[in-house]
Amino acid sequence: MLEDTLNHQQKDVHVRVFNFGASAYSVKEMAATLQYRMLEVKPDLVVMAIIPADFDLARTPSVDAAGYLVDQRIGSLNKLLPKDSPIRAMLRSLRLLYPLRDVIYAWSVNRPGFTRQSAHDLLPDSYLYVRRFNEIAQQQNVSSLVVLLPKQFDDLGDVK
């Protein structure tokens, strides 16, 4: 959509947009993506678009053998549905595994005794990766932009 919008708004330069975004990446993975993947396309501009949760370095899940994200903080889903479970495979095929994971996670973070760190508590270590993103771009003579997005958007892009 961004590529189409930019090319319709101006005709002087043809714009190509590559989206290297991945759900649940923290700023740490975003900096690594720039360093190890994005530079291969020789970009003129790289953008790190982040939400406050992206500063939580522990939120990034691992990847299982099937290439799916596995959030280690949600042990209850793994106890209910082992990785090789046929039910888990069926839920994946129906695109229901991640919604189920999100429901279980939402329940677990609201449990009594469960404490969450605020984005302010996570910022100092996380900010190093934002700086690293800009440093990598600068070393490669690529313009960079870091944008902190509001937590939620509606379909029109307006903040909820």
The residue that leads in pLDDT, 38 or 97, is: 38
pLDDT at 147: 92
**Mean pLDDT, residues 1-16:** 92
Closest CA to 64 of 80, 44, 85, 47: 85
Tokens 């994946």 label which residue? 92
Closest CA to 45 of 8, 20, 9: 20
Asked whether the predicted pLDDT for residue 47 surpasses 90, the reply is: yes
Mean pLDDT of the chain: 76
| pTM for the whole structure | 0.58
Asked whether the predicted pLDDT for residue 9 surpasses 90, the reply is: yes
What is d(CA 4, CA 77) in angstroms, rounded to the nearest whole number? 40
pLDDT in tens, 102-129: 666 666 555 444 455 555 554 567 888 9
pLDDT at 106: 62
**Mean pLDDT, residues 140-159:** 73
What is d(CA 31, CA 36) in angstroms, rounded to the nearest whole number? 9
